Chain A
Amino acid sequence: MAKTILIVDDSDSIREVVKFTLENEGYNVLVGVDGKDALKHLNGQPIDLVITDLHMPEMDGIELIKKIRVTPGYERIPILFLTTESQAAKKMEAKEAGATGWIIKPFVPAKLLAAINKVIR
């Protein structure tokens, strides 16, 4: 069965290109424009991976990760966050919040898929 990936980002273009890349690879893709918007998908449906940006209006990435880790049924799902090279300090913060790993922006599709392959099969 196709794995389901939830992508959360406030940039239209990033969402679009990530969605396009993942759907091309045969994943089901759910999208959220920010943390708050993303939570609506945690309705009991199976989600295999969450990819989230860190800076977002309404609810940022760190808060979203924390929320996911306490939502029944989603406590152990892998979460990758999108970051830039200059945000090293954020990495630890996100990890402590419960993130599995990260993807450094900007990325090419191959790099994105390699990171996903590290956490789901």
Chain B
Amino acid sequence: MDSFRKKFIEEATELIDKLEVALLDLEKNPEDETLVQQVFRIMHTLKGNSAMFGFELIDNFTHNLETIYDQIRNNELELSKPILDVTFACVDHLKSMLDEQNYNDPDFKTIHSGLVEKIDAIINPQKPEGKVESNSKPEAKGVTSTYYILFEPNADIFKNGTNPLYLLDELCSLGDYKVFAHFNRVPQIAEINPDECYTYWEVLLATDKDESVIHDVFIFVESDSTLEIQKLGEENLVADQTFIKEVENLAEVQKDVGLVAIQRLAKVAISNINKRKAEKFTKERIAVKDKTASSIRVSSDKLDTLMNLVSELVTTQARLSLFSEQNNIPGLNPIVENVQKLTRQLRDIAFSIVLIPIENLFGRFQRLVRDLSAELNKDVEFIVEGADTELDKTIIENLSDPLMHILRNSMDHGIEEARVRIANGKPAKGKIVLKAFYSGASVIIQVIDDGAGIDPEMIHAKAISKGLVLPDKKMSKKEILDLIFLPGFSTAKKVTDVSGRGVGMDVVRKKIYDIRGEVEVDSEKGIGTTITIKLPLTLSIIDGLLVSINKSPYVVPLSAIDKIYAVEKDKIYNTFNNLITLDGSQIPFFSLRKEFDLEPSNEELEQVIVVNFEDESVGLVVDYVIGEYQAVLKPLGKHYKNHDIFSGATILGDGTVALVMDTNKIIKMFAIGNKE
């Protein structure tokens, strides 16, 4: 390469010298157009040669310089002394550019960029600081179009040394193709002149290249042949089997297919393709629509308002039902029933709107466990199950802190150090499972670790030493484990950074109670601990059973109810051990009249509502069962805060207030009361 680089430099030096002479002439005769032409031509040649020999810098530099003289010769620009001054400076610079060793010299660079700016300023006076846009054109359009090309060479095409097959080859390299060669003009063998071309071709070409690229293929022969290039459509018709088959059939029947026939077929094919596309598009649109529908964002204020309104509607509907019952107006009842049905549906939908998947919360915990793993140097595998379980967003918001605390406990106190685990025959890597699932109308969230577990004896001893329980009191394991939820109890021997932030399990329990949930602990020493949180699906409205005790209405959550029995009064009041036999099985029961310190009722039949309590059935005896009722939960005022056997109150249709029972707490409280 060096030898002709040298030659280029020789030639370029000559050109630059010539340029200098021409410029000096031009300065003396600025009106001489032939001199302008000469200057332009020399620059053009210099530019072309430098491009060919890889002197890109000269190429780019001369390109803009040449543009000045192009504009002058086209009378777009007037030759002036400043332009000539710049050009002379450029000539000097061009000379130094021939030596590539100068390229990294700082002075060279300064001169170069200075001149480039000056040239640009002359070409684009309106934006002196602007760079000249690159003149590269977008090459491919990216859209595939199908073209019909008829190539009919003149008979004497071979004369100039043209081989049409090479051109067809080149054409086909542009994309997908289908070539039809026509031999119908080939004469009888005796009449054939081998110097003449009798064949012509029809080509279907699907390409993303511009039409001009197709023209370029035939650039040498365009004047010696019939060439027709027609766009059939912006589709890849060559890939359309039906269309190609039809064209092939036509080609067999007819001597040639012809543009008109092909265009007709193409039209049909394109309309079919468009139909398919439209179908697909519609489907996609629907799919997109579905997607957007499922992810509309609404401010939580609006949701709260909606829930409030639905609550009011539920209450009003209850009043309407009551009114209809009390006033026997013909035709009103069906309307009331319909309103009831619609209200229920509306309520359910409003509910589901405020439910969000719990994974929003669980994601945070992944991070927590990861960070704690590093901090405590405990390798822990963290598994999340049921992250798609949905819960009321208010509940989820309030669940974050308690769960965080429980997880910290598991990491800090639960999971042992690797060497301890190995010594106990456990895998070195600990495991924590965070699990959420539905259970009836509740959601259960569990944190299960395979750590050291809780030692009941230690808990018991500690509770005694802290004066939380009496030393001689006999306690079940479950009762002992529940001690960890007492205020002032901390199992940590010493306060660490991670847990023990002055927040104990008592706070966890309180927070969960606040969202009407329950928390339980189960643990096996050396095997692991499971913390179970049970939560209602939602906070504000529940399906309940309206009952009455001593003419006062109460609501029992339907979710807790298993069965209802009507039982004779004697069977209730004449037992000593509070057990009743129902459907062949003995069930413990509480008479609410009795527990509420009321006189026994005068009715012959009492209603026993059997509810689920910690995997057991327990009966609650009430006077009457009035019926199902959608209860809008209203919090009890602060004066009743300690009456936690009621989770709230609801307003009935006639305006009376009914207390909503928390069956679990009622049973717990009365069970303790009866024992003592």
Which of A's residues lie within 8 Å of B, judged by CB? 11-14, 16-17, 20, 75-79, 84, 92, 95, 98-102, 105-108, 117-121
Would you call B167 an interface residue if the criterion is a C-beta within 8 Å of the partner chain's C-beta atoms? yes
In angstroms, Cα B160 to Cα A113, docked, is: 19
Q: Are B48 and A105 in touch, CB under 8 angstroms? A: yes
A27 to B556 CA separation, bound complex (whole angstroms): 99
Report whether over half of chain B's contact residues are helix, strand or loop; otherwise say mixed: helix
CA A32 to CA B167, docked complex, whole Å:
28
Which residues of the other chain, A, contact B159 by a CB distance below 8 angstroms? 75-76, 98
Q: Which residues from chain B contact A17 at a C-beta distance below 8 Å? A: 4, 52-53
Evaluate contact between A102 and B220: CB separation under 8 angstroms.
Answer: yes
- The range of chain B's interface size is 20 to 34
Residues of A close to B166: CB separation below 8 A: 117-121
Knowing A117-B166, A118-B167 touch, does A12 contact B7 (C-beta < 8 A)? yes
A76–B158 contact, CB under 8 A?
Answer: yes
Does B1 belong to the interface (CB within 8 Å)? yes
Segment 139-163 of B: residues with Cβ below 8 Å from A: 158-163
Q: Which residues of chain B have a CB within 8 Å of any CB of chain A?
A: 1, 3-4, 7-8, 10-11, 44, 47-49, 51-53, 158-163, 166-167, 169-170, 217, 219-220, 223-224
Q: Quick check: A106 and B52 within 8 Å, CB to CB?
A: yes
Q: Which residues of A contact B47 (CB under 8 A)?
A: 106
Q: Which residues of A contact B48 (CB under 8 A)?
A: 84, 105-106
- Complex alpha-carbon distance, A118 and B51, angstroms: 23
Please tell me if the beta carbons of A118 and B220 are within 8 angstroms of each other in the complex: yes
The answer to whether B161 and A78 touch across the interface, beta carbons within 8 angstroms, is yes
Identity of the chain A residue whose Cβ is nearest the Cβ of B52 in the assembled complex? A106
Across the interface, do A108 and B52 meet the contact criterion of CB distance under 8 Å? yes
Q: Name the distance in Å between B144's Cβ and chain A's nearest Cβ.
A: 22
Given A17-B52, A117-B170, A119-B166, are A77 and B161 neighbors across the interface (CB < 8 Å)?
yes
Which of B7, B160, B169, B219 makes the CB contact (< 8 A) with A13? Answer: B7
Q: Told that A95-B223, A119-B162 touch, could you supply 13 new A-B pairs with CB distance under 8 A? A: A12-B11, A13-B11, A84-B48, A100-B220, A101-B219, A105-B48, A105-B52, A106-B48, A118-B167, A118-B217, A118-B220, A119-B163, A120-B163
Q: Which residues of A contact B158 (CB under 8 A)?
A: 76
Cβ of B161 and Cβ of A100 under 8 Å apart? yes
A100 touches B52 (CB 8 A): no
29 residue pairs of the A-B complex, CB under 8 angstroms, read A12-B4, A12-B11, A13-B49, A13-B53, A16-B3, A16-B7, A17-B4, A17-B53, A20-B1, A20-B4, A75-B159, A76-B161, A77-B161, A78-B161, A95-B224, A99-B160, A100-B160, A100-B220, A102-B220, A106-B51, A106-B52, A108-B51, A108-B52, A118-B217, A119-B162, A119-B166, A120-B163, A120-B166, A121-B166
Alpha-carbon gap, A102 to B221, bound state (A): 11
Q: Report yes or no: B162 in contact with A106, Cβ–Cβ below 8 A.
A: no
Separation in Å of the B62 CB from the closest CB of chain A? 11
Hey, which chain A residues are within 8 Å of B8, CB to CB? 13
Which of B4, B160, B169, B217 interacts with A79 by CB under 8 Å? Answer: B160
Contact check, B170 vs A78: say whether CB atoms are below 8 A apart: no
Question: Which of A98, A99, A106 counts the most B-chain CB atoms under 10 A from its CB?
Answer: A106
Task: Please report the C-alpha to C-alpha distance between residue A117 and residue B163 in the assembled complex, in whole angstroms.
Answer: 11
A101 to B48 Cα, complex, angstroms: 20
Q: Which residues of B contact A107 (CB under 8 A)?
A: 52
B51 touches A13 (CB 8 A): no
- Residues of B with C-beta under 8 A to A16: 3-4, 7
Residues of B within 8 A of A108 (CB): 51-52
Q: Which residues of A contact B217 (CB under 8 A)?
A: 118
**B1 to nearest A CB, angstroms?**
7
Given the complex, which residues of B lie within 8 Å of A14, measured CB to CB?
Answer: 52
Per the bound structure, the CA–CA distance linking A98 and B224 in Å amounts to: 11
B1 contact set on A, CB distance < 8 A = 20
| CA A77 to CA B162, docked complex, whole Å | 8
Rounded to whole Å, the gap between the CB of B274 and the closest CB of chain A is 36
| Closest beta carbon of chain B to A89's beta carbon, Å | 13
Residue of B with least CB distance to A86: B44
Contacts of A79 in B (CB 8 A): 160-161
Residue numbers in B under 8 Å from A20 (CB-CB): 1, 4
Given contacts A13-B53, A106-B52, contact A119 B11 (CB under 8 A): no
Chain B residue nearest in CB terms to A112: B52
Which chain A residues lie closer than 8 Å to B3 at the CB level?
16
Kindly state the separation between the CA atoms of A100 and B158 in the bound complex, as whole angstroms: 9
Is there contact, CB below 8 Å, between A11 and B11? yes
Q: How far is the CA of A105 from the CA of B52 in the complex (A)?
A: 9
Q: Are A95 and B49 interface neighbours, CB within 8 A?
A: no
B158 and chain A: residue at smallest CB distance: A76
Contact at B4–A13, with CB atoms within 8 Å?
A: yes
Residues of A within 8 A of B161 (CB): 76-79, 100, 119
Cα(A99)–Cα(B162), bound, Å: 9
Measured between beta carbons, the chain B residues less than 8 angstroms from A102 are 220
Nearest CB on A from B619, distance (A): 94
Instruction: State A12–B12 Cα separation when bound (angstroms).
Output: 12
- Inter-subunit contact B220/A101 (CB<8 Å): yes
Chain A residues with Cβ under 8 A from B49's Cβ? 13, 106
Enumerate chain A residues within 8 angstroms of B44, measured Cβ to Cβ.
84
Once bound together, how far apart are the Cα atoms of A108 and B170, in whole Å? 19
User: For residue A119, which residues in chain B have a CB less than 8 angstroms away from its CB?
Assistant: 161-163, 166, 220
Residue of B nearest to A115 (CB): B220
Q: Closest B-chain residue to A105, C-beta based?
A: B48
Q: Given A13-B8, A16-B4, answer yes or no on A78-B53 (Cβ-Cβ < 8 Å).
A: no
A84 to B52, CA, bound (A): 13
| CB-based closest 4 A-B pairs | A106-B48, A101-B220, A78-B161, A16-B4
Nearest-CB distance from B556 to chain A (Å)?
A: 87
Q: Which residue of A lies closest to B218 (CB)?
A: A118
**Residues on the A chain within 8 Å of B11, using CB:** 11-13
Contact between A95 and B160, CB atoms less than 8 A apart: yes
Report how far A101 CA is from B160 CA in the complex, Å: 9
Q: How far is the CA of A121 from the CA of B1 in the complex (A)?
A: 26
**Distance A11 CA – B48 CA, assembled complex (angstroms):** 13
Question: How close is B645's CB to chain A, nearest CB, in angstroms?
Answer: 89
Cα A77 to Cα B160 with chains together (Å): 7
B162 touches A100 (CB 8 A): yes
Cβ-defined contact, B162 with A78, below 8 A: yes
Of all chain A residues, which has the CB nearest B5? A13
Q: Which residue of B lies closest to A12 (CB)?
A: B7
Q: How far is the CB of B326 from chain A (nearest CB, A)?
A: 96
Min C-beta distance of B110 to chain A, whole Å: 29
